[in-house]
Structure 1
Amino acid sequence: MFQVERKILEWVQKHIPLLLVVAATVIGTVLRFDQRHYVSTDYIGYLMDWYEKIKAAGALQGGLREQVGSYNLLFQFLIALMTYLPIDSLFAYKMLSILFDYLLAVICGWFVYDLIGRTSTWKGALAYTCVLCSPIVILNSATWAQCDVIYTFFIMISLYYFTKERYIPSFLWLGVGFAFKLQALFILPLYAFWYFSRKKFTVLHFLIPFGVLFLSGLPNVILGGRGLFDVFEVYFGQTEWFGQFAMNYPSFWLTLCTNPYTGYEEIWNVAMLSTIVILAILMVYWLYRKVEFTGKNLLYMGLLLIYTCILFMPGMHERYGYSYEILSILIAFLLPETIPLTVGLLGISMTTYGSYLYYNALNQYPFALPLLSVINIGIYLTYVRILNHKMSIENKQINR
């Protein structure tokens, strides 16, 4: 072997994590570029219309005066800014979300690297790769032009600071996520649990996300003359936006009724109460087991609590599972036995995403979503068993 050849191979072996990140970035960029022209019905029916209305009203000069669309004031402000870009609105929406794809991949890679004790860079690099090249992440942003990655990114930052017991930054970043999407609050039960169990921060911390939400609407108040509390009214309106207990998501309730429009009023109260009861059972169990405050346990609990909310609450979209799917990827690096569960979650979402984006197979076969619901429940129960068992083992090891 030539000396130069040997040095090249040695350099490659030494820098495999870096090369993996570079390769993933290139591949992820190519895959996203390939999806740039895809136009979803959501874009035609909602996003494009919102963009055109805000632009026609004068963008920052007049487009912020009235509520346009169902998204919050912060996102409406960003749309107004996007109208000044010399590109098509479709590309503007996608570029915003894709930017956060890379940011999410970075924070997830760092999170894994940090949790395993910063002893192996290749796991962090691999986590970055898995998130960035996840088909769900690509489909959500580059294909669908949706923004679930944005609030999920801020949830991950919030969780990271929470593991470091830096509670004010944690709640501040959670507030930014909340300002983008109401679904960011699905992580709040985790923080409520640690508030009661550790008593390390005050209940006033829970007001921080609402304060950030209020501040996020100030540009619209100043530039558009909106009311000071309009930012809250938008979210109140979203809770009544749809009248069905499942929107292409394999909810627990689809095992009882294949038609998501049937019995919504009757099921809503039962579903909400059931969700609260299940959350309470999980938390009481963790209190009883005296689960230790560790970064890994926070991820385990976060996945279970978000998963519980979305599986059992009414009115859930298929995209709302985005945050717990990202957590499942991180947990797969900590617990390899959960890899099949992660694959199962991604498979379910790819099926529901594909049904909406490309054809209506699930609507043509009434049994399809109920069948996915059964699989989804099975994955959820398996996570409950594995993660609770793992937390119990860790408690014994810590308390020895």
Structure 2
Amino acid sequence: MTEENIQIGTSPGPARCNSPDEALLTKWPLAIALVIMCGFAGLVLRYLTREHATVDAFQFLIPWYSFARDHGIGALADPFTNYTPFFSYLLLIAAQFDWLGQPLSLVKMISAVFEFGCAIVVAQMVWRTTRVLLRASLAFCAVWLAPTVIFNGALWGQADSIWTFFTLVSVTLFMRDRNGILPFAVAFSVKAQGVFLGPFLLGMMLRRRIHLAWLATVPGVYMVLAIPVLIAGRSLVSVVGVYVDQANTFDRLFISAANIWIFAAGVPYTTGVAVGLVLTAACGLALSIFIAESKRVGPEFVLLVACASLMFMPYLLPKMHERYFYPFEITSIALSCINLRYLPFAVIAQVDGVMSYLAFDRGIVMALPPAALCNTFLAFYLVLDLWRAGRGFHFPKLAWLGFAVSAAGLLCYLVVTGSGWNMSPAYLIATALTTAMTVRLLKESQRASTSSEGRRA
């Protein structure tokens, strides 16, 4: 049986064919060629955008790099970034290659290294689950060239690929029935947003009866990674208070993420923070309990609930940036390569991410409401998928065509009209069409195939 004949709705095991060795030999040249071409294309894109600078680059990234370069190892004694010590070490390493390019280019090189690592981990996830080399190579290319990945690192020089890399390593270890708590601890030690994987982690610990004492490794790893800056003379209070300072940086419920808080502009700040934390904690606990008690097994299920955790947390929490959906956008690519039924999740996540990035990069703030609406439907259908454990899949050509046309039309309209708020009839129509086609695509793509179920029975 060929790959195309496999029922896509089930959790796939090793690819079934008459001669696996022969199939691998015939497909590996195409897979390798695809990786080489896309890998080169990604390098070209990153080279062409190496000097693209945002306000954050001028205010933070370039000064941080310059301080690390000018002070050398002595820079560790000062809190010259508002990130954890791990990022300071990476800046010091990058400064050793100062002769290679401009400061911003070298900062972006840090992101590119971990983006490449993310692509490799995702390809490894897909390969171990499906044993289909072409799918693994497509997964690598999709992550390496994903629009949100290019925006985040190549254009903005942000560091989200760093903590996402360790998050992915944690997930892939759990997919292999191994303990992934240590890489989770490293992800949290890089950035507090690593806690988005927390509900998944707690659920897997309860499910596999991993002792809760393992949670002590999270602060333990943070302190171990902080040893060099403590030796250099930085105060313990400064090191421990990094996340507290970050949490107090903004006093707005909505910053730039396409989540529910874009629709809650009139809610007082303190009330919104309290409600958001309670709502997120309740959702996270419910997801953990679901993971612990679910009878579903296999690496696909593990990846699916990891996606849910990485989606629900930034969607429900206030004070979020658009960049915090980054790990969900990447894990959804892995999930779609393992099971094509989830392809709409990956595509819609990328479209919503691009609209969110445009809101900051180009000042096109009207891109955020439709992105938030589509993310709302994405979260809703993700809950339904977990609850119902749907298995069927078919390729709804009209739904895909409608979504592609409406999303492209909305993006073109936003780019042409430029920055600011524009509640024109054309905008309202484009937004309504895009959200409607998002719903239809998700619904049609996840419709159970009763005839296939009957044949299997």
**Do both share a fold (TM > 0.5)?**
yes
Decide which of 324, 345, 348 is 1:344's aligned counterpart: 348
Does structure 1 residue 279 correspond to structure 2 residue 284?
yes
* Distance in 1 between residues matched to 2:225 and 2:319, nearest whole Å: 26
| Cα displacement (A) at 1:285 | 4.2
* Distance in 2 between residues matched to 1:151 and 1:285, nearest whole Å: 25
Give the TM-score, by structure 1 length: 0.86
- C-alpha contact (below 8 Å) 1:105/1:131 kept by paired residues: yes
| Cα displacement (A) at 1:356 | 1.5
2:81 corresponding residue in structure 1:
69
2:441 corresponding residue in structure 1:
none
- C-alpha contact (below 8 Å) 1:51/1:89 kept by paired residues: yes
Superposed CA deviations along residues 373-396 of structure 1, whole A, max 9, x for unmatched, are 222111111122124333799xx9
2:275 corresponding residue in structure 1:
270
1:164 corresponding residue in structure 2:
176
* Distance in 1 between residues matched to 2:60 and 2:242, nearest whole Å: 16
Decide which of 203, 207, 215 is 2:224's aligned counterpart: 215
1:155 corresponding residue in structure 2:
167
- How do residues 91-170 of structure 1 correspond to structure 2 at under 5 angstroms? 91-116=105-130, 118=131, 120-167=132-179, 170=180
- C-alpha contact (below 8 Å) 1:291/1:392 kept by paired residues: no
* Distance in 2 between residues matched to 1:139 and 1:267, nearest whole Å: 29
2:363 corresponding residue in structure 1:
360
TM-aligned CA distance change 1:29 to 1:284, over 3 Å:
same
- C-alpha contact (below 8 Å) 2:259/2:315 kept by paired residues: yes
Does structure 1 residue 241 correspond to structure 2 residue 239?
no
Instruction: Please tell me the residue identity of whatever aligns with 1:343.
Output: V
| Cα displacement (A) at 1:331 | 1.1
Q: In structure 1, the residue corresponding to 2:258 is in which secondary structure?
A: coil
* Distance in 2 between residues matched to 1:380 and 1:354, nearest whole Å: 22
| Residues 39-48 or 315-324, more deviating | 39-48
- C-alpha contact (below 8 Å) 1:297/1:391 kept by paired residues: no
Instruction: Please tell me the residue identity of whatever aligns with 1:304.
Output: A
Does structure 1 residue 312 correspond to structure 2 residue 311?
no
TM-aligned CA distance change 1:12 to 1:164, over 3 Å:
closer
Superposed CA deviations along residues 226-255 of structure 1, whole A, max 9, x for unmatched, are 234643211122121211112211121222
Does structure 1 residue 32 correspond to structure 2 residue 46?
yes
Instruction: Please tell me the residue identity of whatever aligns with 1:121.
Output: L
| Cα displacement (A) at 1:152 | 0.7
Does structure 1 residue 189 correspond to structure 2 residue 169?
no
1:176 corresponding residue in structure 2:
186
TM-aligned CA distance change 1:282 to 1:141, over 3 Å:
same
| Cα displacement (A) at 1:353 | 0.9
Decide which of 89, 102, 109 is 1:88's aligned counterpart: 102
- How do residues 13-32 of structure 1 correspond to structure 2 at under 5 angstroms? 15-32=29-46
* Distance in 2 between residues matched to 1:137 and 1:109, nearest whole Å: 16
Q: In structure 1, the residue corresponding to 2:52 is in which secondary structure?
A: coil
TM-aligned CA distance change 1:50 to 1:392, over 3 Å:
same
- C-alpha contact (below 8 Å) 2:336/2:346 kept by paired residues: yes
* Distance in 2 between residues matched to 1:46 and 1:80, nearest whole Å: 15
Instruction: Please tell me the residue identity of whatever aligns with 1:40.
Output: T
* Distance in 1 between residues matched to 2:291 and 2:194, nearest whole Å: 23
Does structure 1 residue 48 correspond to structure 2 residue 48?
no
Structure 1 residue runs without a partner (length 5+): 1-10
2:427 corresponding residue in structure 1:
none
Instruction: Please tell me the residue identity of whatever aligns with 2:354.
Output: M
- C-alpha contact (below 8 Å) 2:196/2:310 kept by paired residues: yes
- How do residues 286-301 of structure 1 correspond to structure 2 at under 5 angstroms? 286-287=291-292, 290-301=294-305
- C-alpha contact (below 8 Å) 2:203/2:290 kept by paired residues: no
Instruction: Please tell me the residue identity of whatever aligns with 1:271.
Output: G
| Cα displacement (A) at 1:107 | 0.9
2:449 corresponding residue in structure 1:
none
Structure 2 residue runs without a partner (length 5+): 1-24, 393-452
Give the TM-score, by structure 2 length: 0.76
* Distance in 2 between residues matched to 1:189 and 1:388, nearest whole Å: 16
TM-aligned CA distance change 1:166 to 1:141, over 3 Å:
same
| Cα displacement (A) at 1:294 | 2.3
| Cα displacement (A) at 1:12 | 7.8
Superposed CA deviations along residues 61-85 of structure 1, whole A, max 9, x for unmatched, are x212121121111212222333332
* Distance in 2 between residues matched to 1:77 and 1:177, nearest whole Å: 15
Q: CA RMSD in A?
A: 2.3
* Distance in 2 between residues matched to 1:194 and 1:13, nearest whole Å: 35
* Distance in 2 between residues matched to 1:256 and 1:296, nearest whole Å: 35
1:4 corresponding residue in structure 2:
none
Decide which of 222, 227, 235 is 2:235's aligned counterpart: 227
* Distance in 2 between residues matched to 1:286 and 1:211, nearest whole Å: 26
- C-alpha contact (below 8 Å) 2:123/2:140 kept by paired residues: yes
* Distance in 1 between residues matched to 2:104 and 2:320, nearest whole Å: 25
- C-alpha contact (below 8 Å) 2:152/2:160 kept by paired residues: yes
